Structure 1
């Protein structure tokens, strides 16, 4: 129940709906009990044993409410029989019962009506909180997580909370109220018989709770498996070309079918245990009813408890009134246990500490004036350091290129400067200020990013270019596209800048996607630019267009260029050659070639002397 209670913090903005639901459910419970009590005088009339009440009863406080209600009905029946006959009395009692049933169901509807606002509001806020947390958490958190599992937590787990928790809330509120009002009436009719019934109930509770504990464990495993097969779907959709190209369909089918088979097995177990709740509670309730019929029948036959036959039958009706709420509560307990597993998975994200968070007194920096300095930094993703005691200064207005073989740590530096990851040792300074002392938003506002993989969104060309700015005019957007050599192909699109480019921009070529990425960075107009192998995945013609765009973009900016194709960085102010996380040499293109060392060998390998 701990996760259930934690989830309820999202209910705070919707408290008024919760209280309205409680009010309407309380009224439902009252009229539910009254609708049964109203039949006792009817039974008395039919059996010819109705209690004659000649004086109008007086209300003497809450403790005597049962006697007051019962005597009021008996007085009405007695008075009507005397003045209009037995049939008229029967009609009046039936009309009262009709009115009670109408009010009971009206308040039940109103309770569910306001509950819709409560449930839907919590589900919306829960999804919003999850999405906000995903945006807030560092990239390192997701590098070890499956995308499908995260999607499952936002979709099926949240849906499970709605189905299991929130829909069970009404049962948890309404049914105990019904039971309380019913028990008060049962005690008023016969305290001895009610105490006997209470001796039997704990046995039922123990049997139900023992099954519900096992249900939670199975539900957690089922939700984890949901994340697994959603991950398979996500990986399949993004890697469909490779799967088909390597004829790996059967291998992927086998993995997916194994996952769904495990899910099927778990869900069969969950549903079997869940479906056990209702028949088990009904059987235990029926066994209790039979015991009450035996014990209560003896009391009536012996006249020991002053209980009349019609009251005993009314008592049985009241006990049946408890059975459905008791079954609903047992189902709600099972549902809460099932939903608890989903709540645990959701809260594991929401309660994850953000390791790259702003300090309380973090500074806002709006301009870049002097130098970026990486000072004796060391960094590791897991166990082994990929950068070791690395130092580098990048003066304002210069272009510094990082080159080296794969795994030398080039892209790691591109991730550390915008603080996607934090260094383990050392510090990164901008104008002498440690980037950990800056607000992340203000730090990243100073930086433009163009990566090897063009990350675009299922939206229009215009909205993709304007992603990094709050407001931009049409002229500014077009100018950015022109600098990126993108305007020419954009105007040939069906709806020009309003054309939707599809999922990840898959309606465009690689070169077109990359030029849109550059236009996005140009429009942001940051003083610092990071280019992480921005041309390595392009053909020669596209590379020339993109390289031309990059050169125009880097004018009058400070640029950190991670390069795979060495032809793209020959004009850099400083080329830094890296091996295994360390600098092995640095200098300008001609200077490094003349040394005939590491850089010379890299150039030779690409046949570019």
Structure 2
């Protein structure tokens, strides 16, 4: 129930539908009971068992003797007697006036009306709950997606993407299908049972008390079936996350899979996962499938005992008439349907509870990188970026040690060094994809942790080694940083990025769809579109994270021209693998194992004949 309470905020916007559902479920339970009770007078007329009564009865009301049990018993007896006497009076009077055929017609109309109202109430209850269930499904998915894209990048370095996709799609759907059945079974089924039991008590309290001896036994047997269902459901949902991750990873790396003839290997991994899911699903499904027949069998056992004991009351004791007993048996069977629904729903709730835990794990995940309440808004860059005494580590691996750097406005500062020296980490820290463990990063003397996060990232343009493009048009990809950009502005950005030449030759120009991850384009073309995106945003600070390292020599020349165009009159931090691309930088910072070992211009560093010179020499040989 604690998980259900956490889902309640998603239900509140749709409470009017919940109230309407409850109202019509109450009516359904009431008319469902009356549909069986209304058979009694009809059968009495059919078998001529109606007690002749020509005097209109008067209800004596509630008698208060001061004893609750005695008062309750007297209330039921007097109410039952009044209805019986009034019914017999009405039937006697109507039959004598209009004949038995007319009375029978009235009874048939009443029965049809009651059944019609019962089914109409059932439809309207389901009609309103549909809006609630689908509304909660939509809002929960939206909340999950919003939380997912707001969580820090570090969260996804430990999670499989497929597992997150599974939570947003399958688990949220499971919550909607299974967990929200609490709303339905909390009113509809219990009220049906309560109203039915009240009617049964009014027909024969002795027979009903006899039934109650066997109901707890049935309930215990059914509860045994549902044990361990939640645990198995959690394992099944985790397994679903694993095989979805396998799909996502193999589709993303299909060239590697095919290039290394690894189809069989990944097939084996996928099939092992689906086999585990198959076994778990069978186990869960079989337990759930057992719920309905088990509850029905236990119910029939109770009804069989009722037939024996009730028959004894009708034929031997003669304390119950035949018509009432037949209606009573109908009411007893009427309990079976809601009882089965409750037992099936209880298993569904266990499954939904497991899914809710996985959904809530994402929704309740603490986001460590957020804007402060009183965060500073900043739209311009005036003087300098200062990184002072920075220490940072990914989990237990130290990446930066006591790192300090100053970047003046308008400067181009290049970071070079071997792989693992911490160059890309600087880009991640400047954009607050990660936060420093120690030290400070300031822009114009304002700590970036004090800046509004969107404001901070609005100051920066980012071009990464991997050209991250989306399955959309060129225009949609480029205009991410400026959604209201005109076609002319986009074309101008493409020209600066040295990309318009190939774009204008595409079938639909800037309205051409570039496919999944831009796979319809070459590596150099994709990178130039990434640069055009940064150009259109027109930020004062540009971060280039090994923007040319993945390109061939010809593509690199095109991209290098685009980068030089973009960096004019702009503060740029360039993380470079190819040293030929940063020789014109105002300052080159040489890094080794998270520390600065040299810094200066290209000429100054060559004159030192140190680490930088070794790197240049190695690349020259390459």
Q: Would you call these one fold, judging by a TM-score over 0.5?
A: yes
Q: Cα deviation per residue 1:105-139 (whole Å; 9 max; x = unaligned)?
A: 11111111111111111100010000000111000
Closer/same/farther in 2, CA of residues 402 and 499 from structure 1, 3 Å limit: same
- Residue 202 of structure 1: aligned partner: 216
Match for residue 472 of structure 2 among 454, 459, 483: 459
CA RMSD between the two structures:
1.8
- Residue 402 of structure 2: aligned partner: 389
Closer/same/farther in 2, CA of residues 521 and 67 from structure 1, 3 Å limit: farther
Q: Matches of 2:513 and 2:84 in 1, distance apart?
A: 72
What secondary structure does 2:513 align onto?
A: coil
Shift of 1:79: 2.2
Q: How does 1:4-43 map to 2 (within 5 A)?
A: 4-43=4-43
Q: How does 1:162-311 map to 2 (within 5 A)?
A: 162-167=176-181, 169-301=183-315, 303=317, 306-311=319-324
Query: Contact 1:171–1:332 at 8 Å: present in 2 too?
Result: yes
- Residue 174 of structure 2: aligned partner: 160
Q: Cα deviation per residue 1:122-173 (whole Å; 9 max; x = unaligned)?
A: 1000100000001110000011110110111111112212221235632332
- Residue 367 of structure 1: aligned partner: 380
Shift of 1:343: 0.8
Q: Matches of 2:38 and 2:45 in 1, distance apart?
A: 12
Query: Contact 1:377–1:425 at 8 Å: present in 2 too?
Result: yes
Say if 2:384 is the partner of 1:377: no
Q: Matches of 1:443 and 1:57 in 2, distance apart?
A: 83
Query: Contact 2:463–2:530 at 8 Å: present in 1 too?
Result: yes
Shift of 1:473: 2.0
Shift of 1:61: 6.6
What secondary structure does 2:462 align onto?
A: strand
Q: Matches of 1:286 and 1:592 in 2, distance apart?
A: 92
Q: Which moved more, 1:81-90 or 1:435-444?
A: 81-90
Query: Contact 2:181–2:349 at 8 Å: present in 1 too?
Result: no
Query: Contact 1:572–1:588 at 8 Å: present in 2 too?
Result: yes
Q: Cα deviation per residue 1:41-60 (whole Å; 9 max; x = unaligned)?
A: 12212333223343445567
What secondary structure does 2:421 align onto?
A: coil
What TM-score do the two structures reach when normalised by structure 1? 0.96
Q: How many residues align?
A: 608
Say if 2:560 is the partner of 1:564: no
Q: Matches of 1:61 and 1:490 in 2, distance apart?
A: 89
Which structure 2 segments of 5+ residues have no match? Answer: 63-74
Shift of 1:73: 3.9
Say if 2:442 is the partner of 1:447: no
What secondary structure does 2:391 align onto?
A: strand
Q: Cα deviation per residue 1:351-373 (whole Å; 9 max; x = unaligned)?
A: 10111122222211221111111
Q: Cα deviation per residue 1:462-506 (whole Å; 9 max; x = unaligned)?
A: 111110123212222111111111111111111111111111111
Q: Cα deviation per residue 1:251-291 (whole Å; 9 max; x = unaligned)?
A: 11111110010000100100011111101111111111122
Closer/same/farther in 2, CA of residues 594 and 58 from structure 1, 3 Å limit: farther
Shift of 1:311: 1.5
Q: Cα deviation per residue 1:408-467 (whole Å; 9 max; x = unaligned)?
A: 111111101010001111111111111111111111011110000011111111111110
Q: Matches of 1:501 and 1:321 in 2, distance apart?
A: 61
Q: How does 1:497-508 map to 2 (within 5 A)?
A: 497-508=510-521
- Residue 135 of structure 2: aligned partner: 121
Q: Matches of 1:244 and 1:67 in 2, distance apart?
A: 83
Match for residue 585 of structure 1 among 586, 598, 601: 598
Match for residue 617 of structure 2 among 597, 604, 609: 604
Say if 2:557 is the partner of 1:551: no
- Residue 347 of structure 1: aligned partner: 360
Closer/same/farther in 2, CA of residues 566 and 31 from structure 1, 3 Å limit: same
Q: Matches of 2:287 and 2:200 in 1, distance apart?
A: 32
Q: Matches of 2:414 and 2:386 in 1, distance apart?
A: 14
Closer/same/farther in 2, CA of residues 521 and 43 from structure 1, 3 Å limit: same
Q: Which moved more, 1:158-167 or 1:565-574?
A: 158-167
Q: Matches of 1:512 and 1:70 in 2, distance apart?
A: 89
Q: Which moved more, 1:165-174 or 1:384-393?
A: 165-174
Say if 2:534 is the partner of 1:531: no
